[in-house]
Amino acid sequence: MNTELGTVVGYSVRFEDMTSSQTKIKYLTDGTLLREAISDPLLHKYKVIILDEAHERTVQTDLLLGVIKKAQRLRNQQHIPVLKVIIMSATIDCDHFSQYFNKAPVYYIRGRQHDIQMMYSKEKQSDYMNAALITVFQIYQNQDEGDILVFSTGEEEIESMIRSVNETIPLLPLESQKLKALPLYAALPLSHQQRVFKTLENGFRKVIFATNIAETSITIPNIKYVVDSGKVKSRSYNSVTGFETLKVQSISKAQAAQRAGRAGREMSGICYRLYTKEEYNEFRDHAIPEIQRCNLANVLLHIIAIGINDVLNFDFMDKPSEDNINSALKQLVHFGAIEAKQELYYLTDVGTLMVIFPVEPKFSKMIVTSKSMGCTEEIITILSLLSVDNIYYIPSNQKDMANEVHKKFISSEGDLIKLLKVYRNFKTAKENKKWCKENFIHINNLKLATDIKKQLSDLCLKASIPLVSSNNNTEVIRKCLSTGLVFNTAYLQKDGTYKTRLTKQEVYIHPSSCLFGTKPENIIFNELVQTSKCYMSIDFRIGELFVLLLVSTRCHRFGSRWSGFSPALQCVGPVSGRFARSGGCLEVIVEIKQQRRVVRQDIVDINGDILFREFEGLFAGNPLAQPFEDIEDFAHPFDSRNSVNFTFDRIHGFNDFHDRYTFDEPTVADDTQQFDHPLDQFGSLVVVEVAAIKR
């Protein structure tokens, strides 16, 4: 358009707003538009919204779809000019989108794609890593030049397959040793990721082992062959048990098409599917939308903040389960972020403050409480570090060294205090690149955390939360952190394992935690992820009594006494205690009783006044803050992870794999048509890009 960026055409993303009053066309991320919707629910500023990559069905996409639909209806009712919407999707789930938008017309456009031959495995493969390696060498030895992209599930598998390739190459005839194996996954430092873009010296071919990062985010040039394991690691959330699982699962048909498409970007290509046609037919059409497999606290708080109070009837394109919605609402009520009036939910003052911050509610709760606890500076530092991917860099070939170097940051108080230590050292070293390298720290993640901290600081000032530091009083920091993580407590059992207080599940300290191997009596964790075991990640130690207080959601004051029912502590029973004056300070004393006798009592905090003020908010609680239902102990099967200790020894050379591993004839996808349509009455249109896959 030949205009200066930020004038007529501009963009707006998290840390940058390149728009002005002249701007007519604005590029923005879905999250940014959702933020704007809080102050402008009808999206008055916009005439047309083009929502791209809708097929990815991220939480933000789904939330935005609902918010836009609601805005369309309201604008229609209020005779405000229509909000036109164009949904762009790369796969053929157009019906679903069209139905959702009142049978909006669908317009098909042909994607630019070269021909791709689809090859299916003739037999089921029990070991997809083995199959992938065999296929790679098969392509390398029998097929024309062109690089190979292998879709795998995670770092460990990728590194293991690369080791196998490197061990195998020397066994090949000298003239066919020109194969270079490269890894690609998000946790890899940027400089290593960029190696996949380099052209190699003459005659050398690349084989890239990647996660789904190569499906959409990173496009690698010169790929002619795709090897698709048919597997992906994906996260889901169980609102009843409160833990997330991270499991290797079969991909969807849409994902399979996306992966295959990576072979035909510059030339015709071949996609080798390491699964049979029958297995493929069993794949679901699309992955389950993320909104149906995550904790909804953030989503619901956002919806309520936009002014949609009837959250239970919010028009989701794919509605999450009622259990999940209710448990998230319960969490928000506990935090004092929302309150209910006849099935309608409203933001409280605390909630209004919480939504200012672009972090999950469990984290924004901490920022809000940090004001009276006087540790805002430390809290936002820790939260910015929790907002980025792992800052510790542990390369597979220097594991011991990296772990050794990281030891100097270890804190007996846990991982969050350790994070704080790393950050402070990084600052003292003046954000030095060399320091990061020597200390095995991901510089890009740490820099991103610095930006996030800046954003959170600015927002704190806006919310009149001064950036006070607790001056190395780590105890108050841990207490403040606990206010957001009250649901995430576990205690030590006699056999050395841990049990969550709320759901009584057996859990373990994650081996990457600095508390691994130690046995603190009480522990608070950031999240619960089930992989090979149910692991608590990012833990910290906490005094028992503080835990008791925190989990008491309903407390009452009777003169100089207080009592609270502690649903998470059936093993201990009701918690009560008294207040006392000591040197002008108010002390909160907790008494633990057994058969009416006080067996133990403790002063919670010397700065009782401060603490009490904090708890008054918590105690006053909310009439709706019901105790949690009693959840029965139950055994849950720990899925054993797919075999990762792969060795290449098993196939003894290369002569026997032709028989074992062959492919079906290529298949041809249907051709596509084009037609013209006007927009529907509310102004919605669905555009589907169809990749024509031909022989």
Partner DNA sequence: CTCTCCCT
Side-chain-facing half-sphere of 605: CA atoms under 13 Å: 17
Give the shortest CB-233-to-DNA separation in angstroms.
4
How far is the C-alpha of 606 from the C-alpha of 612, rounded, in Å? 11
Taking the least distance from each CB to DNA, the nearer of 270 and 328 is 328
Exactly one of 45, 235, 433, 660 binds DNA (CB under 7 A); that residue is: 235
Give the shortest CB-267-to-DNA separation in angstroms.
25
The answer to whether the CB of 221 falls within 8 A of the CB of 266 is: yes
The answer to whether the CB of 351 falls within 8 A of the CB of 332 is: yes
Taking the least distance from each CB to DNA, the nearer of 409 and 562 is 409
Does residue 41 bind DNA (CB under 7 A)? no
Does residue 13 bind DNA (CB under 7 A)? yes
Task: List, in order, residues 6 or more apart from 128 with CB less than 8 Å away.
Answer: 229, 230, 231, 274
Measured CA distances, 337 to 233, 330, 350, 603 (Å): 33, 10, 5, 29
Does residue 58 bind DNA (CB under 7 A)? yes
Q: Is 471 left (phi over 0), alpha (psi -120 to 50) or beta?
A: left
Q: Is 430 left (phi over 0), alpha (psi -120 to 50) or beta?
A: left
Taking the least distance from each CB to DNA, the nearer of 390 and 472 is 390
The answer to whether the CB of 211 falls within 8 A of the CB of 257 is: no
* Window 511 to 570, contacts with DNA (CB under 7 A): 511-512, 527, 529, 531-533, 535, 537-538
Taking the least distance from each CB to DNA, the nearer of 91 and 138 is 91
Kindly state the tokens that stand for 51: 């929502």
Q: Which of 226, 250, 204 is nearest to 113 (CA)?
A: 226
Give the shortest CB-192-to-DNA separation in angstroms.
12
Alpha-carbon torsion (229, 230, 231, 232), positive or negative: positive
Helices and strands (H, E) in the chain, number of each type:
21, 27
Stretch of residues binding DNA (CB under 7 A), selected from 334-342, 386-394, 476-484, 576-584: 386-394
Does residue 156 bind DNA (CB under 7 A)? yes
Give the shortest CB-103-to-DNA separation in angstroms.
30
Taking the least distance from each CB to DNA, the nearer of 270 and 297 is 297
Does residue 500 bind DNA (CB under 7 A)? no
Does residue 352 bind DNA (CB under 7 A)? no
Q: Which of 562, 569, 554 is nearest to 586 (CA)?
A: 562
Taking the least distance from each CB to DNA, the nearer of 413 and 527 is 527
Give the shortest CB-157-to-DNA separation in angstroms.
8
Does residue 380 bind DNA (CB under 7 A)? no
* Window 396 to 415, contacts with DNA (CB under 7 A): 399, 403
Does residue 61 bind DNA (CB under 7 A)? no
Exactly one of 285, 343, 389, 458 binds DNA (CB under 7 A); that residue is: 389
Give the position of tokens 């005779």.
79
Stretch of residues binding DNA (CB under 7 A), selected from 256-264, 509-517, 599-607, 659-667: 509-517
* Window 244 to 273, contacts with DNA (CB under 7 A): 246
Stretch of residues binding DNA (CB under 7 A), selected from 275-283, 320-328, 388-396, 658-666: 388-396
Taking the least distance from each CB to DNA, the nearer of 138 and 526 is 526
User: Burial level of 219, CB count in 10 A (0-12/13-18/19+)?
Assistant: exposed
First to last CA, the chain: 39
Taking the least distance from each CB to DNA, the nearer of 133 and 514 is 514
Task: List, in order, residues 6 or more apart from 687 with CB less than 8 Å away.
Answer: 86, 87, 88, 89, 106, 107, 108, 109
Give the shortest CB-191-to-DNA separation in angstroms.
16
* Window 574 to 613, contacts with DNA (CB under 7 A): none
Q: How many residues bind DNA (CB under 7 A)?
A: 49
Does residue 358 bind DNA (CB under 7 A)? yes
Give the shortest CB-249-to-DNA separation in angstroms.
10
Provide the mask over 295-314, with x wherever binding to DNA is found by CB under 7 A and - wherever it is not.
---x----------------
How far is the C-alpha of 168 from the C-alpha of 170, rounded, in Å? 6
What's the chain's length in residues? Answer: 695
* Window 17 to 36, contacts with DNA (CB under 7 A): 29-32, 34-35
Q: Which of 455, 456, 473 is nearest to 374 (CA)?
A: 473
The answer to whether the CB of 210 falls within 8 A of the CB of 150 is: yes
Q: Which of 308, 333, 158, 311 is nearest to 229 (CA)?
A: 158
Exactly one of 50, 213, 288, 356 binds DNA (CB under 7 A); that residue is: 213
Q: Which of 425, 361, 387, 296 is nearest to 15 (CA)?
A: 387
The answer to whether the CB of 55 falls within 8 A of the CB of 317 is: no
Taking the least distance from each CB to DNA, the nearer of 513 and 566 is 513
Give the shortest CB-13-to-DNA separation in angstroms.
4
Q: What is the CA radius of gyration of the chain?
A: 28
Exactly one of 187, 350, 417, 441 binds DNA (CB under 7 A); that residue is: 187
Taking the least distance from each CB to DNA, the nearer of 390 and 560 is 390
The answer to whether the CB of 638 falls within 8 A of the CB of 534 is: yes
Taking the least distance from each CB to DNA, the nearer of 38 and 200 is 38
How far is the C-alpha of 416 from the C-alpha of 382, rounded, in Å? 7
Exactly one of 7, 8, 14, 610 binds DNA (CB under 7 A); that residue is: 14
Exactly one of 19, 60, 439, 566 binds DNA (CB under 7 A); that residue is: 60
Stretch of residues binding DNA (CB under 7 A), selected from 1-9, 126-134, 179-187, 608-616: 179-187
Instruction: Indicate the helix (H) or strand (E) that contains 66.
Output: helix 59-77
3-state SS string over 229-294?
A: CCEEEEEEECCCCCCEEEEEEECCHHHHHHHHHCCCCCCCEEEEECCCHHHHHHCCCCCCCHHHCC
Centre a 10 Å sphere on the Cβ of residue 471 and count the other Cβ atoms it contains: 10
Does residue 234 bind DNA (CB under 7 A)? yes
Taking the least distance from each CB to DNA, the nearer of 493 and 582 is 493
Taking the least distance from each CB to DNA, the nearer of 155 and 602 is 155
Exactly one of 211, 255, 474, 553 binds DNA (CB under 7 A); that residue is: 211
Give the shortest CB-538-to-DNA separation in angstroms.
7
Give the position of tokens 């999240």.
527
Taking the least distance from each CB to DNA, the nearer of 213 and 603 is 213
Taking the least distance from each CB to DNA, the nearer of 164 and 234 is 234
Does residue 642 bind DNA (CB under 7 A)? no
Q: Which residues bind DNA (CB under 7 A)?
A: 13-14, 29-32, 34-35, 58, 60, 153-156, 185-187, 211-213, 217-218, 232-235, 246, 298, 358-360, 387-389, 394, 399, 403, 510-512, 527, 529, 531-533, 535, 537-538, 641
